Chains A and B, each alone.
Chain A
Amino acid sequence: MKIDSIQNGIVIDHITAGKGMEIYRLLKLDNLDCSVAIIKNVHSRKMGRKDIIKIDAAIDLNMDILGYVDPGVTIDIIRNEMLVEKRRADLPERLENVLYCKNPRCITTTEQELPHVFRLTDRENHVYRCMYCDVKAK
């Protein structure tokens, strides 16, 4: 299968196989007017299989979401068909309005304008806790 290379844009690589559509939806890529390609189950020497998303436009990506949903993905920034930057999405220390606190006793349940903030408390086990009530994100 052949997908055209992009001129100016972003390649999200090393996505865990099967997570491509989830990332597409979370990043709201369906709202873009440019070409977007989701390539599923690509052969990978390191991962066995992986997904790749190619976006033919220079947009700002929410790296926090990427790091949380699929830590380990890489983001390649392409300018004039050249790779100018390669970033690795890692688990972010802080997530704002990505996760929502479900604790009925948390202040965020009654004060709607408060941002839902979670902090990383256990990197090894990917545990996030609400900044306000310390309840673990589910």
Chain B
Amino acid sequence: MRSLIDIAELSIEEIDELLQRADDIIANPKKYAHACDGKKLATLFFEPSTRTRLSFEAAMYELGGNVISMASAGSSSASKGESVADTAKTVSCYADVIAMRHPKEGAPYVASINARVPVINAGDGGHNHPTQTLADLLTIYREKGRLDNLTVGFCGDLKFGRTVHSLITALSRYSGIKFVLISPDELKLPSYIKKDIIQKNNLEYVQTTDFESVLPELDILYMTRVQRERFFNEEDYLRLKDSYILTPDKMKLAKEDCSVLHPLPRVNEISVAIDNDPRACYFKQVFNGKIMRMSLILKLLEVEI
């Protein structure tokens, strides 16, 4: 039995297998319509989420499976003080696979060592969000046809942005990747990711606060939202939230084939006017997220097609 807590648990070969399967799901959806007949996914979301939860649920329904979930964290036993371990053991009796989002970092890991079924980390605090990374990888792969030899810019909140940390971890294993890290000083990428991941893999990187000067060299621009819920201090949030806003004028500086990604939801960091730009890929990412979750569920449930 296998869980997915951190994207680094998947080898490059396994990611490739998930991407190939995702391509096949997109090409032949009917082939997978009953792949998970009789199986149940439990979505345990202890933190608000729209797209990730709906994406997991849609993924399971499109595989022919069913979904059970709780209405909200407030209505679960967690509000009565039940531990994550006990919740995981209990839900294992009802479902074949669990998708868990939790505000506390490491909660899905605790669930995975106590559950009798696979646990998928659907986001734990500012820590990991591996299925968003799978969606990001599929988007890059489908847009560029490769995951190597790319200059990838990350812009916005690189400190608390768990999707940024996971995607950097995943891309660091491919050759010829250059990272461009654009953020205010207060929201820089944590040093352990720079040291343990980027530098350890001998990858080139640039750290800057100047968005416009680096925009022309990017193959991929990964925008992020400054997340209010990660700040202990409202003043800091208000001061930093509008640091970088992508507008049509700025997009004129970008390459003609630069793909703009965003894990969504956006607030105002990408102007709505960019949505019609063919380089805007963030809604494709949403679709790809559902497909990669289908691919992952099939893998973790060891379903043969």
Contacts and interface: CB of A to CB of B under 8 A. Distances in A.
A106 B196 contact: no
Contact of A109 (B104, B109, B110, B127): B104
Nearest to A109: B104
Contacts of A114: 110
A54 interface: no
A136 B193 CA distance: 11
Contacts of A129: 192
Task: Report the contact-size class of chain B (Cβ under 8 Å from the partner).
Answer: 10 to 19
Given A131-B109, A134-B127, A107 B192 contact: no
Given A111-B83, A121-B196, A103 B110 contact: no
Contacts of B107: 107
Given A113-B83, A133-B127, A134-B127, A108 B106 contact: yes
B64 interface: no
A134 B195 CA distance: 13
B83 A106 contact: no
A130 B110 CA distance: 13
A107 B110 contact: yes
A108 B105 CA distance: 9
Contacts of A136: 192
B103 A105 contact: yes
B84 A111 contact: yes
A130 B196 contact: no
6 contacts: A107-B104, A107-B109, A107-B124, A111-B85, A113-B83, A133-B127
